[in-house]
Amino acid sequence: MKKLLGLKKGKKDAVSVARAYHYDVIVSPVVTEKSTAASEQNKVVFNVHLDSTKEDIKSAVEALFNVKVAKVNTLRRLGKIKRFRNTVGKLSDTKKAIITLAEGQAIDLSAGVK
Which pLDDT score, from 0 to 100, does residue 31 have? 92
Q: Of the candidates 55, 61, 72, 50, which has an alpha carbon nearest to the alpha carbon of residue 22?
A: 61
pLDDT at residue number 20: 75
Residue ranges of the alpha helices (H) in the chain?
2-5, 14-25, 33-38, 54-65
- Name residues whose C-beta falls within 8 Å of residue 45's C-beta, 6 or more positions apart in sequence: 29, 30, 32, 35, 38, 96, 97, 98, 99
pLDDT at 7: 53
Q: What is the per-residue pLDDT across 38-75, written as a single tens digit (0 to 9) for each?
A: 999 999 999 999 999 999 999 999 999 999 999 999 99
Beta bridge partners of 74: 97
Q: For each of the domains in the chain, give its residue range(s) and CATH number, in order of start.
A: 2-101 (3.30.70.330)
**Which tens digit of pLDDT belongs to each residue from 3-26?**
555 555 555 555 556 667 888 999
2 has pLDDT over 80: no
Looking at residue 14, what is its pLDDT?
59
Whole-prediction pTM: 0.77
**Residue 65 or residue 109, greater confidence:** 65
